[in-house]
Structure 1
Amino acid sequence: MALAAAVVFAIVGGAWLLFAVLVLVPDLSMLFYLAGPRIGAFAYNLVHILIGPFILAALAWATDSVIAKQITLIWAFHIAVDRALGYGLKLPTSFQDTHLGRIGRG
């Protein structure tokens, strides 16, 4: 999915500077872990599930918004790379506990 998102981004003439600036923005949701693991997991998962990019894609298509299409592809790319690297959706117990298993040391 990451490769497909990057290819489509290139095909539609996406701005690579925009890509570089926004590709890690979803990870800002980790800041919510400062409020505790339950709130952190909820916020992280909210921006790391595909429903967000799907909704934005529908809005982008309906309005023919070029910037929304580019953001959709960047967001989907981010999620796909996270999954490929083993970073799954977070469980409320700890940042390291994901639906794909435990990440990090010990």
Structure 2
Amino acid sequence: MTKVLLHIEGFAILSLSVYLYGYFQFSWLLFFILLFAPDIAMVGYVISNKVGSVAYNLFHTYSVPIILILVSVMFSNLTLLSIGFIWSAHIGMDRMLGYGLKYSTAFKDTHLNRV
């Protein structure tokens, strides 16, 4: 049941992020270009599982895009706001599909399941 709730939560975050992105009429081209940008953090796995999991988890934690969104609102920066929505959409999409935060044991070991 808990996994199902995490998948639903991911779908909700993805949906809200996409809705708000569209509401502000940001560029859909930018959205699709940057949607998978957080996955660049997987390059850390070339060094080691530990470095890879830390880098991946840093780029796949909701707290970072939320802080980015808050800062963008504080300083009225629409570019940062759009990036924050794209970033949160990416994380929501990952959670919806079952990709979670990584353990340092292996790339396939996540807090949601073994992918």
Q: Same fold (TM over 0.5)?
A: yes
TM-score, length basis structure 2: 0.88
2:34 aligned with 1:28? no
TM-score, length basis structure 1: 0.95
**Mapping of 1:1-106 within 5 angstroms?**
1-103=13-115
CA RMSD of aligned residues (A): 0.5
For residue 10 of structure 1, give the secondary structure of its aligned residue in structure 2. helix
Alignment coverage as a number of residue pairs: 103
Structure with the larger strand share? 1
State the identity %. 37
CA distance in 1, matches of 2:76, 2:14: 23
CA distance in 1, matches of 2:70, 2:16: 18
Deviations 1:14-67 (A, max 9, x none): 110110110000000000000010100000000100010111011101110011
* Structure 1 residues without counterparts, runs of 5 or longer: none
Runs (4+) of structure 1 exceeding 6 A deviation are none
Deviation at residue 101 of structure 1 after TM alignment = 1.3
Deviations 1:43-96 (A, max 9, x none): 000010001011101110111001111000000000000000000000000000
CA distance in 1, matches of 2:16, 2:109: 28
